[in-house]
Amino acid sequence: MKLATIHDGSRDGQLAVVARDLKSAHMADAIAPTLQAALDDWTFIAPQLDSLYAQLNRGEARRAFEFEPQRCMAPLPRASQWAEGAAWLHHLELLRRAQPAPSSTPSTPSSARFLDALREEPLLAQGAGDAFLGPHDDILLAHEEWGIDFGAGIAAIVDDVPMGATPDEAHGRIRLLMLVNSVSLRQLMPAELTRGFGFLQSKPATGCSPVAVTPDELGEAWRGGKVHLPLRATWNGHLAGQPDAGADMDFNFPQLIAHLCKSRRAGAGSIVGAGTVSNRDTTKGKAPPGHACIAERRALETLADGAPATPYMRFGDSIRIEMLDEAGKPVFGAIEQTVRKA
Amino acid sequence: MKLATIHDGSRDGQLAVVARDLKSAHMADAIAPTLQAALDDWTFIAPQLDSLYAQLNRGEARRAFEFEPQRCMAPLPRASQWAEGAAWLHHLELLRRAQPAPSSTPSTPSSARFLDALREEPLLAQGAGDAFLGPHDDILLAHEEWGIDFGAGIAAIVDDVPMGATPDEAHGRIRLLMLVNSVSLRQLMPAELTRGFGFLQSKPATGCSPVAVTPDELGEAWRGGKVHLPLRATWNGHLAGQPDAGADMDFNFPQLIAHLCKSRRAGAGSIVGAGTVSNRDTTKGKAPPGHACIAERRALETLADGAPATPYMRFGDSIRIEMLDEAGKPVFGAIEQTVRKA
């Protein structure tokens, strides 16, 4: 099923069930007031939501209304945990290769050694869950000079996951999937990486797709803990990339979640992102996968020409992120955000 | 006023007002069901809670009951943001000085250079807010070998803080203060620091004091954005330290919060910790401040003798953290946790 959170002036919004074709919706307040409330008691609540979803898809729901993504908040406008991985090592590898030599960045170990270590276990960072943005919310920032970059990715929303869960156990605790625009302030990142405490100022609020969907909505595209569909990122109307989210993913969602839960449990409604989707270009001249963020393109330019040519986002720039199924239908609706000066 | 969250089987518990002497309490469910609900609408809710608090302190509240810290969850059992700073640089400095030489830790810049950079702006790390522990909850962990350490500290719970807030503005958004036991798994930290994405597995769930208090409860001890009282940490019945939380604090709470909000707003109910309290020993033989965590003591042993002598916590070990006011009365009640094998 597909679920959305409709803006009603409150901080957590109201839960709605959205039809498979994203054309109509129905408030779910008679079942659960918010998505967090549904996740808090998923075994009891989900079958009721599912029944409403079936009615809605048959055109039999009593008070259906037209679904407008503009009215959506993030599916979980605030979450008690937001941890984001870097599951496509190709992304890190590209950015790393284009970095200045180690002498000028004393905190970074050599690339080869660093990447070898990353292959052994996933890399995840804790983020702030207090302010997820809706699919049409502006990206408000004070300075273009911070190096504003979009980052198209996928995130899983989990049920309670016990401490020490195996990847298999974690797999069974994934309740919903959604798209995210994980914005990075690239010019603030090197200093934060040097300080070793992870990202803080360099990771502002994250945008989310209009709906979150249960994994079964993806059919055969959800297998092996990965989403095997292209993720399209369109920057100012031009396709920036459409990498396959099922390809080149070095750690799947269950592995990321199990890594997170090695020394602590995760509470229901924790969100685990997999990072920027990134494919190796093996197309040999046919439509290349392109890039789900600007930093990768700049890294390739740096490797080719010694310096990046593509600027980061400017005030007024727009970014659209969506994923179409094999029939060409959008699964999650589209994130459509514009960068504005705060 | 003093507020607590009483365990009622739900995830967020029930809000209660606690008398100044911590002897009695009164459910606040007629005013706000949970502390998060109170924070979501603080301007409207706080005066009502304050009025109940005054009644309770006068012994006139109608359904007061005996306050039992054993029944408390964390004041905010789950929070949409948990960011923890390292505001006492003396703590970092000690740990740093006792580290092996840089050659074996390729990612760490030289101590002097690192510490100089830290004096310029605060260091904060995002953590997970989904599972704060109540004051008497066990610290459940799988392996003693992870290097289980307590960490006595103070945290501020804020109202909405706008992006770009100055320290002065941030000061006015601090709603509550509480004590925390910020547990660290010291043996898991070096590898995570090397990877540069901050702490994940090395920071399990954090324990909280029975009550959170409004800053005015501290009277003159709350000044300059700092809490000027000793924080007592007692390990297995022996005093480990009682450093003054107002001394040697290089960044105050307003500075930490303003740093957090440079590129994003913080939502109401965000919790900002200041890290392990740590004093320079300037007592010259009189009662020394001791240490609010084990790692500092091990660092001093390493500097003196080449190796640490004090082991980390073992299953069955207990830790008690509390803060007494100038009259010797506990302000926040005590955190009393025991480490158990998960």
Cα B213 versus chain centre, distance: 13
Q: Decide if A163 and B142 are in contact by the 8 Å CB cutoff.
A: yes
Closest CA–CA distance from residue A238 to any residue of chain B (Å): 27
Closest CA–CA distance from residue A208 to any residue of chain B (Å): 16
Output the DSSP codes for A178-224. EEEE--EEGGGHHHHHHHTS--STTS-PPEE-S-EE-GGGGGGGEET
In the block, residue with structure tokens 């290089």:
B250
ipTM: 0.95
Q: Decide if A197 and B106 are in contact by the 8 Å CB cutoff.
A: no
Residue A105: pLDDT band with limits 50, 70, 90: very low
Distances (CA, A) of B4 to A164, B74, B77, B215, B316: 30, 8, 10, 15, 27
Q: Decide if A188 and B78 are in contact by the 8 Å CB cutoff.
A: no
Option in B109, B140, B200 nearest A260 (CB) = B200
Q: Decide if B131 and A266 are in contact by the 8 Å CB cutoff.
A: yes
Closest CA–CA distance from residue A290 to any residue of chain B (Å): 26
Kindly report, residue by residue over A243-253, the tens digit of the pLDDT. Answer: 999 999 999 99
Average pLDDT of every residue of chain A: 94
- Rounded CA-CA distance A144/A341 in Å is 8
Here the tokens at position B268 are 């109401």
To test the contact with chain A by mutation, choose from B141, B161, B263 the residue with the greatest count of A C-beta atoms within 10 A, namely B263
Backbone Cα Rg of chain A: 20
In the block, residue with structure tokens 């050694």:
A113
Q: Decide if A260 and B125 are in contact by the 8 Å CB cutoff.
A: no
Closest CA–CA distance from residue A167 to any residue of chain B (Å): 16
Backbone Cα Rg of chain B: 20
pLDDT at B107: 45
Residue A109: pLDDT band with limits 50, 70, 90: low
Among left, alpha and beta (phi > 0; psi -120 to 50; other), residue B275 is left
pLDDT at B69: 98
pLDDT at B285: 66
Contacts of B129 in chain A (CB under 8 A): 80-81, 129
pLDDT at A193: 86
Q: Decide if A263 and B202 are in contact by the 8 Å CB cutoff.
A: yes
Assess contact for B206 and B127: CB atoms under 8 A: yes
Cα B321 versus chain centre, distance: 10
Among left, alpha and beta (phi > 0; psi -120 to 50; other), residue B22 is left
Option in A80, A163, A199 nearest B130 (CB) = A80
Q: Decide if B263 and A117 are in contact by the 8 Å CB cutoff.
A: no
Option in A117, A127, A264 nearest B195 (CB) = A117
User: CA of A147: which chain B residue's CA is closest?
Assistant: B263
| Across A231-237, average pLDDT | 98
Q: Decide if A125 and B126 are in contact by the 8 Å CB cutoff.
A: yes
Option in A164, A201, A260 nearest B262 (CB) = A201
Assess contact for B279 and B244: CB atoms under 8 A: yes
Q: Decide if A126 and B200 are in contact by the 8 Å CB cutoff.
A: yes
pLDDT at A29: 92
Cα distance from N-terminal residue to C-terminal residue, chain A: 36
Q: Decide if A259 and B201 are in contact by the 8 Å CB cutoff.
A: yes
Q: State the 10-residue block means of pLDDT for chain B, 342 residues long.
A: 98 98 97 98 98 98 97 98 96 88 48 78 94 97 98 98 98 98 96 88 97 98 98 98 97 98 97 96 80 97 96 98 97 98 96
Assess contact for A75 and A176: CB atoms under 8 A: yes
For residue A55, the one-letter residue type is Q
Could you tell me the sign of the dihedral formed by the alpha carbons of B25, B28, B33, B39, in that order? negative
pLDDT at A212: 98
pLDDT at B110: 57
User: CA of A37: which chain B residue's CA is closest?
Assistant: B11
Contacts of B130 in chain A (CB under 8 A): 80-81, 266-267, 269-270
Contacts of B204 in chain A (CB under 8 A): 263-264
- Rounded CA-CA distance B215/B320 in Å is 22
User: CA of A11: which chain B residue's CA is closest?
Assistant: B40
pLDDT of residue A108 exceeding 70, the answer is no
Residues in CB range of A222: below 8 A, 6 or more apart: A177, A215, A216, A228
To test the contact with chain B by mutation, choose from A195, A203, A313 the residue with the greatest count of B C-beta atoms within 10 A, namely A195
User: CA of A267: which chain B residue's CA is closest?
Assistant: B130
Contacts of B142 in chain A (CB under 8 A): 163-164, 263
Closest CA–CA distance from residue B267 to any residue of chain A (Å): 5
Closest CA–CA distance from residue A37 to any residue of chain B (Å): 10
Share of chain A above pLDDT 90, in %: 88
pLDDT at A103: 45
To test the contact with chain A by mutation, choose from B105, B199, B264 the residue with the greatest count of A C-beta atoms within 10 A, namely B264
pLDDT of residue A176 exceeding 70, the answer is yes
Residue A111: pLDDT band with limits 50, 70, 90: low
